[in-house]
Structure 1
């Protein structure tokens, strides 16, 4: 066989990709896609947690405004609903705004569409989100997120309250283990 014919025959056999080469390329693409998708999902979950902290900070500000107008925080029984409609039981708020404290007349829910948990003794309060699973406890995005007001100023005192948020419940000392300033 002539050399030219031999080169032509070899080149003819290598015009396409082999099945193994195609499978290797598809496997690499699938692995890269899985990595990218997991990072996107992780960022999405981080966004949900950040959004929860922002909503809790907003609720904190609304509760402070409630206290400035009413001279007390809503009781646990009155709950966050007291920001929307004037409480009928318990202490009376004489300066309650006609349209309440929340625009849209609805208490916001956390990003996982669960109600925030509110507890108060009238002087301080705790707000928590039960995370993605909506149940107490959990890890990752299922972890509970807490915001606790540590002290409440007098009605005429400057409105500076010390608050913190955490994924750990408040302990006897008043703070969770991983406290962080709300964003």
Structure 2
């Protein structure tokens, strides 16, 4: 007859044998990871330039939103001289904002994904302001990845 304590010891011994993974299970897991990597990695690695364009478009929308908030608080957009720095810290050049919040509109002035500053002009050629990036080549105009990116004012 097996006592209760002997039964517990036997059960623990069986459980410890089952606790680890077998070599076959490890190979199956590694094979699944390899298949997933083969399917996904080429799609991600092959498109860094398209990803940069997407980041630039997102940055432009974020900056445009901050500019609209600035205008709502202060009655107008920052001047060209004040630039986008007015969104990251209270401007000291005239016209000084009436109601600048304790927390700035942006934590820092972003640069485009190619390491260049975003271009801001107020008043703009086609609206209250122009906000753009010259794209990969950093020059006005261009096509495909070198095309200018802008946020249209409404």
Using the size of structure 2 for normalisation, the TM-score is 0.65
Matches within 5 A, 1:119-130: 119-121=121-123, 124-130=128-134
CA deviation string 1:73-127 (max 9, x = no partner): 0011111010012112222212102332112xx2011111110000112871111
2:117 alignment counterpart: 115
| Bigger fraction of residues in helix | 2
Note if contact 2:123-2:130 (Cα within 8 Å) is conserved in structure 1: no
Which secondary structure state, in structure 2, belongs to the residue aligned with residue 55 of structure 1? helix
Which secondary structure state, in structure 2, belongs to the residue aligned with residue 118 of structure 1? strand
| Correspondent of 1:148 among 146, 149, 152 | 152
Matches within 5 A, 1:20-169: 40-41=45-46, 43-103=47-107, 106-121=108-123, 124-149=128-153, 162=154
CA deviation string 1:30-60 (max 9, x = no partner): xxxxxx979943x222211111111100001
Note if contact 2:133-2:150 (Cα within 8 Å) is conserved in structure 1: yes
Q: Which runs of 5+ in 1 are unaligned?
A: 1-35, 150-161, 163-183
CA root-mean-square deviation:
2.3
Using the size of structure 1 for normalisation, the TM-score is 0.55
Paired with 1:82 and 1:131, the residues of 2 have a C-alpha distance of 23
**Which 10-residue stretch deviates more, 64-73 or 137-146?**
137-146
